[in-house]
Amino acid sequence: MESPKAQIVERPETGGAMIILLLALIIMLAIYTLTSKDLLHGVIAMSAVSLICALLFTILQAPDVAITEAAVGAGVSTVIFVWALRHSKRRDDEGE
Amino acid sequence: MIERALLFTLFLIGFYGIVGKKHIIKKIFGLNILNNAAVILFILEGSRIGTDAPIMDGQASAIVDPVPQALMLTAIVIGVCITALSLALAVHLYRVSGSFDIDTIRMRIQDEA
Amino acid sequence: MKENSKRSRYWSRFTTVIAIVAMAVVLLPIFLNDTSWPIEARDYLAHSGTEESGAINLVSAIYLGYRVFDTFGETIVLLVAVLGTMGMLSRVESLVDTSLEEEHTIGSVSGFSLTNEKRRSHALRTHLLEVVTGKIGPIVLLFGFYVMLYGHVSPGGGFQGGVIIASGIVFLALGNPQEGSSGISNPELLVRLESAAFLTLILVFFSGLLIGNGFFGNPLAHTQIPVGYIVILNAVIGMKVGTSLGFMCIAMMGGGS
Tell me the per-residue pLDDT of B70-97, one tens digit each, with 9 for 90 and over: 999 999 999 999 999 999 999 888 888 8
- SS3 call for C194: helix
pLDDT at C108: 36
Range of A79's domain? 36-87
The interface pTM score, or ipTM, of the predicted complex is 0.89
Residues C16, B19: C-beta atoms closer than 8 Å:
yes
Which pLDDT score, from 0 to 100, does residue C213 have? 67
Average pLDDT (B93-108) is 86
* pTM (two decimals): 0.86
Chain A residue with CA closest to B85: the answer is A80
- Which segments of chain C have a pLDDT < 70? 1-3, 93-126, 177-184, 212-214, 216, 219, 221-222, 255-257
Looking at residue C129, what is its pLDDT? 79
Question: How many structural domains are present in chain A?
Answer: 1
Asked whether the predicted pLDDT for residue A5 surpasses 70, the reply is: no
pLDDT of residue C143: 94
pLDDT at A16: 81
Q: How many CB atoms lie within 10 A of CB B33?
A: 26
- Angstrom distance (rounded) from CA C40 to CA A11: 19
How far lies C174's CA from each of A48, C81, C93, C249, in Å?
23, 24, 20, 11
If you compute the radius of gyration of chain A from its CA atoms, what whole number of angstroms results?
A: 18
In a domain, residue A49? The reply is yes
B4 has a pLDDT exceeding 80: yes
C:24-53 residues touching chain A, CB 8 A cutoff: 36, 39, 42-43, 46-47
In Å, how far is A75's CA from the nearest CA of chain C?
7
Cα–Cα distances (Å) from A84 to A37, A55, B28, B90, C81, in that order, read 16, 27, 11, 8, 16
> Is the per-residue pLDDT at A46 higher than 50?
yes
The per-residue pLDDT for range C187-203, each reduced to its tens digit, is: 888 888 888 998 998 88
Of C39, C155, C249, the CB nearest to A6: C39
Choose between B15 and A4: higher pLDDT.
B15
Residue B8 pLDDT > 80: yes
Instruction: Note the pLDDT tens digit of each residue in B18-48.
Output: 999 989 999 999 999 999 999 999 999 988 8
Nearest CA of chain B to the CA of A44: how many Å?
Answer: 11
- In the structure, what pLDDT confidence band is assigned to residue A94 with cuts at 50, 70 and 90? low
The structural domains of chain C, with segments of one domain joined by +, span 1-30, 53-98+122-257
Q: What is the pLDDT of residue C110?
A: 41
> Which long-range contacts does C183-191 make (Cβ < 8 Å, 24+ apart)?
C184/C141, C185/C246, C185/C250, C185/C255, C187/C247, C187/C250, C187/C251, C187/C255, C187/C256, C187/C257, C188/C257, C190/C243, C190/C244, C190/C246, C190/C247, C190/C250, C191/C243, C191/C247
Beta bridge partners of B55: C57
User: Smallest Cβ distance to C163: which of A6, A76, A80?
Assistant: A76
CB spacing of C31 vs B8 below 8 angstroms: yes
Contact list in B for residue C57 (CB cut-off 8 A) is 54-55
Domains, chain B, in order of start with CATH, read 2-51+64-112 (1.10.287.3510)
Which subunits count as partners of chain B given 3+ CB pairs below 8 Å? Answer: A, C
